[in-house]
Chain A
Amino acid sequence: MAAVAGALDLVRYVGRWGSRPAQHVLGNAGRFTYLLIDLMRGLTEWRVYLPRMFTQATHIGYGSLFIVLLVAGFAGAVTSLQTGYQFTGSLPLYYAGAVISESMILELGPVLTALILAGRIGARYAAELGTMRVTEQIDALESLGRSPITHLLLPRVIAGILVIPALTMFANATGIVVGYLTAKGSLGLTYADFEYGARYFFRPLDLWYSLIKSYCFAGAVTLIPCYIGYNTQQGAEGVGRATTTAVVSASVTILLLDALTTKLLLGVK
């Protein structure tokens, strides 16, 4: 008897520890899905979210432009220098053009931009919405018969989805231009060689892939922080925690999506 009781206790113990994280994960998945459905439903109320979307898009678009271009520029320069360091003497110089343009378009442009914006836009969204939640501003909106989804979340999400791919394209361009100028300065790469290399390994899919990736990342950068901020609990500490969680989960999601899109779009040919 004692053995049976003990075994049952163990099962209960393990069950409790096992089921809590599971409940947590499933609960979040469910609420996130509801949020997505609510966002879809809210799309018809463009009169509400469109003006607010423009405000948000201006904030995050022009606000992030400098840092995105700065980082992309450095990424291009470093790629260029490292390519020079590794390839000089063993491969024709024009390969540098291919490496710079392909690595910027395929990986560095979209991913670096998204990671920076996860820190910039994601943190901003999570902190704003979290503060609004704990100071009852979201409740206030609801008490006025207004939907927080269309007033607060949709403008932010759409602004991100509109602006982030554009920023990614600027990042790609900056990275490639700076990469070329660096290669020109340090390796003596001519424009003709650069262009030749860049074109030889380019397939139109690469650029589409870059664009599709940036849309996926835009979703991650906006939706996850919005969800986390919207569901903030427990005061100032909660806001802090929501912000950190938002940035970390958005960044991890970006990397996962990176792997996933690469596998799906470039994996099997």
Chain B
Amino acid sequence: MIQLQNISKRFLSNVVLDGVSLDVQDGETVALLGPSGVGKSVTLKMINGLLKPDSGDVIVDGLHVPKLKRHELAELRSRIGYVFQYGALFDSDPVAENIRLGITNEDQYHDEAYWKERVKECLRLVNLSADVADKYPAELSGGMKKRVGIARAIAGKPKYLLYDEPTSGLDPVNADVIDGLIERLRDELGVTSVVVSHDVRGSFRVADRVALLWQAKIRAVGTAEEILASRDTAVQQFLERDLEMSLIQAEGNQDRHGA
């Protein structure tokens, strides 16, 4: 279980988060929705301790993340898979080594039979063929990089998965593939996920609950239906603008297919 308790964070004079609280139950997928630059990624990085809140507490599995010692944090992180926005693949290593580095158990990492098998399995889980393993990140397309990023995040069999903008920068087809992947991993691996996104449609599809982050605070939390039914003007405004964008994109695609 992930608990964010009243966390605040500012960078210089810019308040990014102001008293944000959110609970994520085990087995649940929560989407953190909001326009760019409202501190969604910052929130995500606080969950695995890459950033520390100025005030408030982050509790994962009963551990107070900001107060953890170095080795405790490393141990906790091995239970949290983090999918970075642009993949953040180690570009000096081939895909296989990238995924292998995701194997957080040091003995398994050095066990050649185990890690080769695990790399294959993870590639299969993200719908990539086994021959991708020998390629370097620079040879991969954007969508493939994201999928390798996901494969790396799940290689250590994490309990939690944190997705930072998993579909941004992808065309709608690839975005759908990734969304499908998130659903599938939830079902197959039973992981607890937090998905940070500004893509309303995708979030509604993959998430059990959606939290809308607006001007450094959580404006609304609930299931897709509850959010859509919300009378809050800010929520309405955000949803309308984004759904419009989606519609335009969808139309554009249909036009292309028609012609």
Contact = CB atoms under 8 A, between A and B. Distances in A.
- Say whether A and B bind each other: yes
B75 A145 contact: yes
A137 interface: yes
A139 B101 contact: no
A142 B102 CA distance: 11
Contacts of B76: 145
Centre residue among A136, A142, A144 by max chain B CB count within 10 A: A144
A137 B50 contact: no
A139 B74 contact: no
B90 A143 contact: no
B194 to A, nearest CB: 13
Given A137-B91, A147-B74, A142 B50 contact: yes
B196 to A, nearest CB: 14
A147 B73 CA distance: 11
Contacts of B50: 139, 142-143
A146 interface: yes
A146 B48 CA distance: 12
B85 interface: yes
Contact of A139 (B45, B78, B92, B106): B45
B110 interface: yes
Centre residue among B76, B78, B92 by max chain A CB count within 10 A: B92
A82 interface: no
B77 A144 contact: yes
A137 B78 contact: no
A47 interface: yes
A141 interface: yes
A135 interface: yes
14 contacts: A47-B110, A135-B88, A137-B91, A139-B45, A139-B50, A139-B84, A140-B82, A140-B152, A142-B50, A143-B48, A143-B82, A144-B102, A145-B75, A145-B77
